[in-house]
């Protein structure tokens, strides 16, 4: 006799302050990279969907930009993406950097104020992921933090994990699955993201720019794939990408001495894009100045930064 089991499917919003490890957590849960990660805050700019399917459940995760002070139109569209994801979620996961709040407990209330306000009175299932526990050996150091989080969100499950080392993730995935509503899969079982491959390639280039460039330059950078063509003769995909910057000075910094910086970005991005599309890639990068692009709503929409689901 076969036993009737419940199938679950639903949307899970990963939200929290910048640099908490939301994107790292999503990639680790999926066992595949769908969203970019850098040590700089405010890496993720829109909602990015990653889908985890197994026999009895499908969890549709939404990675979101870090919630921080809003400055300018780009930040506003980033925050919009967070609220949009929250509206769509069946389950809410708040991700925090445990190490940060152990060292600076006074930042906790300030950083979580926007989330606390948005979630006041919300009755959807919720989990708090206390991430980066690999950064301190004495685990008892997080007890005051856990106590405070429990006071702030008494109904939430609190999970200490290390997304980087994948510690605690099977338990977290099992809990999140159990919190999903009953329902049939919404996506084919082999689909891992809803983001088009072109968008993912542009994000990879942006990741390399974030990793290689210093100070404020990465925040003035946007990447647009201009053309994407198969060259059957050479057996490769030819990709032309435009890197937008907001000033001639930044253009110089992206290009680097004798073109060295841009070359390095190209080499590293090409490697990852080849892995993504499982084929040979010829990548050409161009840098263009577009002053004030972060304040231009039509341009933000063109780049897919309108706060909507991809
Ligand atoms: N030691 C340690 N580092 C981590 C862990 N998870 C993430 N990181 C690091 O934290 C930094 C930020 O990670 P992201 O995943 O980009 O963080 P995020 O929350 O998506 O950041 P935004 O998109 O900017 O909001 C990266 O350098 C990660 O390698 C962890 O469990 N342990
Ligand atoms: Mg991120």
Report yes or no on 184 lying in a domain. no
Span 92-137, pLDDT tens digits: 999 999 999 999 999 999 999 989 989 989 999 999 999 999 999 9
Q: Which of 26, 37, 133, 219 to mutate to test the pocket of ligand 1 (most atoms within 8 A of CB)?
A: 37
In our burial notation (b when 16+ CB lie closer than 10 A, e otherwise), range 280-309 reads ebebebebeeeeebbeeeebbeebbbebee
Q: Which of 17, 21, 39 to mutate to test the pocket of ligand 1 (most atoms within 8 A of CB)?
A: 21
Protein residue whose Cα sits closest to atom 30 of ligand 1: 132
Q: Do both 175 and 201 map to the same domain?
A: no
Whether the Cβ atoms of residue 160 and residue 135 lie closer than 8 Å to each other: no
What is the 8-class DSSP label of residue 75? H
Q: Do both 40 and 155 map to the same domain?
A: yes
Whole-number Å distance between alpha carbons of 289 and 287: 7
Q: Do both 283 and 143 map to the same domain?
A: no
Whether the Cβ atoms of residue 212 and residue 243 lie closer than 8 Å to each other: no
CATH number reported for the structural domain that contains residue 238 in this entry = 3.30.300.20
Residue ending a domain, among 136, 152, 179, is 179
Span 257-289, pLDDT tens digits: 999 999 999 999 999 999 999 999 999 999 999
CA-closest candidate to residue 173, choices 17, 289, 57? 57
Report yes or no on 2 lying in a domain. no
Residue 250 CB–ligand 1 contact under 6 Å: no
Angle at the Cα of 267 (from 263 to 270), degrees rounded to 5? Answer: 130
Span 219-262, pLDDT tens digits: 999 999 999 999 999 999 999 999 999 999 999 999 999 999 99
Task: Print the domain residue range for 254.
Answer: 197-302
Report yes or no on 133 lying in a domain. yes
Q: How many Å separate Cα 31 from the centre of its chain? A: 14
Total domains, the chain? 2
Looking at residue 3, its pLDDT comes to 61
Protein residue whose Cα sits closest to atom 24 of ligand 1: 42
């Amino acid at each position: 006799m076969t036993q009737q089991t419940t199938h679950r499917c639903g949307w899970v919003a990963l939200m929290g302050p910048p640099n908490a490890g939301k994107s790292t957590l999503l990639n680790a849960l999926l066992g595949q990279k769908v969203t970019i990660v850098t040590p700089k805050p405010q890496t993720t700019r829109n909602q990015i969907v990653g889908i985890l399917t197994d026999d009895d459940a499908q969890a549709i995760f939404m990675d979101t930009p870090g919630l921080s002070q809003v400055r300018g139109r780009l930040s506003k569209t980033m925050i919009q993406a967070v609220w949009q994801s929250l509206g769509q979620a069946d389950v809410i996961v708040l991700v925090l950097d445990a190490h940060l709040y152990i060292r600076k407990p006074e930042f906790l209330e300030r950083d979580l104020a926007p989330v606390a306000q948005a979630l006041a009175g919300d009755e959807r299932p919720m989990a708090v992921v206390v991430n980066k526990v690999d950064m301190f050996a004495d685990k008892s150091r997080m007890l005051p933090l856990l106590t405070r989080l429990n006071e702030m969100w008494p109904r939430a499950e609190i999970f200490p994990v290390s997304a980087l080392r994948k510690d605690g993730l099977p338990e977290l995935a099992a809990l999140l699955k159990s919190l999903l509503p009953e329902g049939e899969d919404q996506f084919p079982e082999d689909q891992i993201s809803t983001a088009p491959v072109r968008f993912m390639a542009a994000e990879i280039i942006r990741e390399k720019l974030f990793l290689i460039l210093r100070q404020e330059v990465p925040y003035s950078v946007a990447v647009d794939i201009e053309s994407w063509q198969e060259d059957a003769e050479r057996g490769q995909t030819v990709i032309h990408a435009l890197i937008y910057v907001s000033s001639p000075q930044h253009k110089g910094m992206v290009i680097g001495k004798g073109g060295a910086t841009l070359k390095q970005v190209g080499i590293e991005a090409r490697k990852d894009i080849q892995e993504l599309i499982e084929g040979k890639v010829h990548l050409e990068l161009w840098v263009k100045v577009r002053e004030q692009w972060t304040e231009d709503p039509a341009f933000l929409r063109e780049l897919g930064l309108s706060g909507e689901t991809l």
